[in-house]
Structure 1
């Protein structure tokens, strides 16, 4: 699990399918989970000043792998007892979105992102969403896209301020919205025993 709060920018040293090698000040251990641009990946090797992770074929098919160059967002997985800011993020990217509009505001930047209809049903006005690993709040939802407002602090702490029109980004929708949709879309529906089991998980 993650929070969607970026720990630091890492520098991509190389990406030769399926191995991504990064330079970073963060020092993980072999086997640690770490989110790279929002995708939960496993550390497979370490070296002085950095580490490598491996991307499965499934991961590569879901991610905007063309962005694995220059700087990337990284966030280590939550440890038991860590403070939870942002929102609950799994690091399971649902789809790739496209930056459709960028509008500079007095104290921030409005961004419109389009995603497939299949995933758009999980996006809720004033709900949470993750873009390239960054926890953000949805302003409103349109027929094919949603709008976000990025405040100056977030622009300074992430790479979002460098994004251009047409850029593809990794999108993870809110996991609770996905769970609820899945449960309520089942033909057999829910009963109180099921609700009790779900509540016990959290």
Structure 2
């Protein structure tokens, strides 16, 4: 679990194909690796990856074909946002992020608004329903607040600090980004589906139980 507060910017320095998978080497000089051990999770541009080899200034991760098929930016050498897994004692400065990307978005506009920048992104239609005004969304691992929504498109304002400390400053029109929606929205949808679609099933189970000889014997 992560928070979407980027701890450092690193770089994928090597990508070695392993069948349909990829083995990555990631430079992480600015990330404190003293409390990281093999098997720990680190979010790379919003994707939760497992550390399989490491030193004080780099780590390696194996990326499966499945992960490559639903994300962008893990099969090339370039700067990436890094965040170590959340500890229960840490402050939750952003929002709860799983590192499981929901879809790939496309940058529609990235322009200056004084000292801030406006970032407009088109999300895949399948996940647009989970994006709400003033809600949280994770873009390439960065926890951000949605300001406007129009259909599948949403808008975000980026402050100078975010631009200076993440890779988002390198985005441009047409760039693709990893998106993860707020987990709470998914849980709410699931609970709503359960209450509306399965009420009849639950009622039928109750009727069947009441009509069964075993239940009748217990009630006599």
Q: TM (normalized to structure 1)?
A: 0.89
Question: How many pairs does the alignment contain?
Answer: 189
Q: Give, in angstroms, the shift of residue 104 of structure 1.
A: 1.0
Q: Give, in angstroms, the shift of residue 162 of structure 1.
A: 1.4
Q: Give, in angstroms, the shift of residue 48 of structure 1.
A: 5.1
Asked if 1:153 corresponds to 2:161, the answer is yes
Q: How does 1:162-201 map to 2 (within 5 A)?
A: 162-186=170-194, 187-188=197-198
How many Å separate the matches in 2 of 1:175 and 1:143? 20
Q: Give, in angstroms, the shift of residue 88 of structure 1.
A: 0.7
Which of 63, 76, 81 pairs up with 2:84?
76
Asked if 1:91 corresponds to 2:106, the answer is no
Q: Give, in angstroms, the shift of residue 41 of structure 1.
A: 0.6
Structure 1 stretches of 4+ moved >4 Å? none
The residue that corresponds to 1:20 in the other structure is 24
Q: How does 1:119-158 map to 2 (within 5 A)?
A: 119-158=127-166
Tell me the secondary structure at the aligned position of residue 178 of structure 1: helix
C-alpha RMSD over aligned residues: 1.4
Q: Give, in angstroms, the shift of residue 182 of structure 1.
A: 2.1
Gaps of 5+ in 1: 190-202
How many Å separate the matches in 2 of 1:126 and 1:117? 19
How many Å separate the matches in 1 of 2:15 and 2:55? 16
**Higher CA-based Rg:** 2
Tell me the secondary structure at the aligned position of residue 148 of structure 1: strand
Q: Give, in angstroms, the shift of residue 117 of structure 1.
A: 1.1
Q: TM (normalized to structure 2)?
A: 0.82
